[in-house]
Amino acid sequence: MTPAQQQAAAAPEIKREEGSQTQATAVPENAKVIRVPGVQLDASPGKEVILRVPGSSQSYRGRIVGFDPYEFVIIKVRLPSALRRELANGRNVVVKYVHQGTVNGFMAQVENAITTPAPLLFIQYPNMVEKLALRSSKRKECNIDGVLHTTDDEVECLIVNASESGCKLSVRVGERDVLRQTRVDDALIVAMNLGSLGELKVAVAVKNLSREKGIMTMGCMFLDISKEEMGTIREYLDKISRHSL
């Protein structure tokens, strides 16, 4: 398969994982997917990204630290040692990030994976990028206990509303907490306790944020979510509707 053919096959990856029934991003019916050449990659060093290996349900949070235009992209990401060795053999990965409120995603082959002096992945520069503009869906008020996973720590949070496309969460932050450095379009991972439906861990992108009296409130969009996970969220939202006025 040529690089162009590989990227064409990768485009649906934003919606489903190749060779499986698991969707990598649940796409609403009203969402519009646009495919653009890789030269329009809107991702500068420092951009937070979510990385997933096709066939796996696990997402990993990383950051673009450099690239050689049209050649390769360098991503700093901590991965299990076994997975890193596997990727070093030329496996494909799916990379997603948010730019100006739009989900961007592409599939690329790993060219190298190193641990020294830092855990880095060198991946091929994409020939094609998919842009997915998600329309906001109606949020339902809730009080869900959660845990926000940062690069250095795990912080308790509260999800105060949720929908099929995202959620709003609040978290207490101190003057020196790393979370104070969070910016719009950053990628995070949040674990939500849905009671009898179990715990749900999903990747989100920050769309807006505010700080007041030590509390940070973040409006987030689901960035990488499976069809099964979306079903769990819908079930939880239906449960809220049945037990609220």
Mind listing the pLDDT tens digit for each residue in 196-243? 888 998 889 898 899 888 899 999 988 877 788 888 888 988 887 777
Question: pLDDT tens across 26-63, in order?
Answer: 444 455 678 888 887 888 888 889 998 887 778 898 99
Question: Which phi and psi angles does 3 have, rounded to 5°?
Answer: -55, -40
**Cα–Cα distance between 108 and 90 in angstroms, integer?**
10
Domain boundaries, the chain: 3-133, 140-242
Q: What is the pLDDT of residue 10?
A: 42
**Cα–Cα distance between 73 and 51 in angstroms, integer?**
13
Cα angle 168, 171, 174 (rounded to 5 degrees) comes to 150
Top CATH class of 3-133 equals mainly beta
pLDDT, greater one: 69 or 147: 147
Q: Above 50 in pLDDT, residue 20?
A: no
Calculate the alpha carbon distances from 216 to 16, 92, 162, 169, 210 in Å. Answer: 33, 36, 17, 8, 6
Q: What is the pLDDT of residue 141?
A: 87
Top CATH class of 140-242 equals mainly beta
Residue 76's pLDDT band (boundaries 50, 70, 90)?
very high
Beta-carbon neighbour count of residue 96 at 10 Å?
A: 24
Please tell me what DSSP assigns to residue 182: -
**Cα–Cα distance between 181 and 191 in angstroms, integer?**
20
